[in-house]
Amino acid sequence: MWFSVNKKIILSFKMEASNKTIYLGCDHGGYDLKETIKQYLLDKKYKVEDVGSYSADRVDYPDYAAKVCEGVQKDSTNNLGLVVCGSGIGISIAANKFKGIRCANCNDVYSALMSRKKDDSNVLSLGCRVIGEESAKLITDAFLETKFEGDREAFNKRQEKIKEIEEKYLKA
Ligand code: RB5
């Protein structure tokens, strides 16, 4: 159980299995952290799909952002994604080019919480060269166990406006 400093945010981290699939992807800059988080999630009995990269050899992060986003798009109600590169920035920019993907680059717990609660993020991006492993685990917990407050009219209206932008400017 988690409490924020002002006691307004209460998060209970469920340890049991979840029916959603978490798609994981990274480039060489994010490989070590992706491996750490993969094991962390498997230990917690999450269903994980690792789409690579599978070594620290140089690769291009857009290729792995694409694989993760395609996985999330398969079942956008249940599936979530987690992408890692050196800074967390490049791979999040690539992920946000995909329809229906709301990727948040969060290197702290508060941002991860808010990205879910208010913005309905469905892909988390982490910077392997920015944060340590233990912070990354807490951020991941916050992202996976926080729900979008879809009953808040203002939050929904903003999501609708983002969808309108997608319809107008994104082709596929
Ligand atoms: C790779 O060296 C690095 O540029 C990449 O992982 C990422 O940080 C880009 O945003």
Q: What is the pLDDT of residues 72-111, one digit of tens each?
A: 999 999 999 999 999 999 999 999 999 999 999 999 999 9
Cβ–Cβ < 8 Å for 127, 85:
yes
The residue whose CA is least distant from atom 5 of ligand 1 is 86
Which ligand 1 atom is the nearest neighbour of the CA of 27? 6
The residue whose CA is least distant from atom 1 of ligand 1 is 29
**Is the pLDDT reported for residue 9 higher than 70?**
no
What pTM value is reported for the model?
Answer: 0.89
Topology adopted by domain 18-169: Ribose 5-phosphate Isomerase B; Chain: A, (3.40.1400)
CA dihedral 41, 37, 90, 147 (to 10 degrees): 40
Which ligand 1 atom is the nearest neighbour of the CA of 90? 10
The 3-state secondary structure of 13-36, one letter per residue: CCCCCCCCEEEEEECHHHHHHHHH
Q: What is the pLDDT of residues 27-64, one digit of tens each?
A: 999 999 999 999 999 999 999 999 999 999 999 999 99
**Is the pLDDT reported for residue 170 higher than 60?**
yes
**Is the pLDDT reported for residue 22 higher than 50?**
yes
Is 85 noted as a catalytic residue in this protein?
Answer: yes
> Cα(2) to centroid of ligand 1, in Å?
32
Sign for the CA dihedral angle at 27, 136, 81, 152 comes to negative
Domain locations in the chain as residue ranges: 18-169
What's the pLDDT band for 18 if we cut at 50, 70, 90? low
